[in-house]
Amino acid sequence: MNDSQPQISIIVPCYKQAHYLDTSLQSVIDQSYDSWECIIVDDGSPDLTETVAQKWCAKDARFSYVKKENGGLSSARNAGISIARGVYILPLDADDLLHPDFLKETIDIFDKKEKIAIVGCYSIFFKEQIDNVVRIHKPKGNSCRNLMYMNQLVATSLYKKQYWEEVGGYDESMKDGFEDWDFWLSITKRGYDYYVIPKSLFYYRKASQSMLVDTIKTKAEKVKEYLILKHREIYKEDFDNCVKVFTHNLVTSRRKEQRLQYSLEYKIGKLILKPFKLVMNIFYSK
């Protein structure tokens, strides 16, 4: 590790993603801004994470490697940030990529704007290759209110380490995802703003299976309940709008269910299953 203090500490947790790690770290070393360190946190990964990480540490002294027992994403990020020397922190998942000007563009905002705590950007969601674009995420707003009902910011957004210290780090009890959403709420509810650069400077790998995909499919409501209860003071202040939002969500959910029930596929399915239901009714009536 270089003796001079880096401005930015990039934290790369890795668990079972060694096969993506080379590409992610290459996007770090390709940055046009060079005052950084990159801490690779091996979260008890059973694959070749250590081998890949040590190769990069030998290649460039700005890389370092930490190994810990598996504790989840929040725990891995906290472990890396706790030893980070940079003024600014950038979490980067091991399967995602940075545009070469990501660091240069984001840190420049902190020099220009005083009240900003977090700097994000537009993000390209891709599958397998970065030119296979699924969609472009364009966050909106600039304050806590814009984050209450939808997480506008991806986890890979730049912020000052002092805010991580102020809020007590990432919530390590949140092992099912949305820990970054909770973290952004914890910062912005203190009156800090965020800023979104209207450029696509980040590449998010959209996997068919991941912790986030699983959370959205099976656990989203429970995790959101946890968020609301944890940050209940801001939802109480926004009570009338909160009721409107949840009522809207219930109506939307009901309409989706009604569309499904009236769909041709649903009707055909009911027709096919009807004989089986009759047989089962006869069987259980005996």
Residue 53 lies in a domain: yes
Residues written for the chain: 286
**Residue 17 maps to a domain:** yes
Phi, psi angles (nearest 5°) of residue 280: -65, -40
Q: Are residues 276 and 168 in the same domain?
A: no
Give the mean pLDDT of the chain.
Answer: 90
pTM: 0.85
Among 91, 94, 107, CA closest to 35? 107
Q: How far is CA 121 from CA 11, 124, 136, in A?
A: 18, 10, 11
pLDDT number for residue 194: 98
44 with 96, same domain: the answer is yes
Q: How many CA atoms lie within 13 A of 86 on its CB side?
A: 27
Name beta bridge partners: 15: none
* 126 and 267 fall within a common domain: no
Q: 183 with 259, same domain?
A: no
Question: Is 226 a member of any domain?
Answer: no
Query: Are 192 and 252 in a shared domain?
Result: no
15 located within any domain: yes
Structure tokens at 224: 């959101």
Q: Which pLDDT tens digit goes with each residue over 250-276?
A: 787 777 777 766 666 655 656 676 666
Domain count, the chain: 2
Q: Would 40 be classed as within a structural domain?
A: yes
Same domain, 111 and 245: no
User: What's the domain range around 126?
Assistant: 8-213
H or E element that contains 189? none
Give strand ranges (E) for 44-157.
63-68, 88-91, 97-98, 116-127, 129-137
Residues 6+ apart with CB under 8 A from 57: 40, 63, 64, 65
**Is 218 within the bounds of a domain?**
no
Assess whether pLDDT exceeds 60 at residue 1: no
Q: What CATH number has the domain bearing residue 170? A: 3.90.550.10
> Would 234 be classed as within a structural domain?
no
Res 286: pLDDT: 53
Is residue 71 within 8 Å of residue 140, measured between CB atoms?
no
For position 202, what pLDDT does the model report? 98
Q: Is residue 236 part of a domain?
A: no
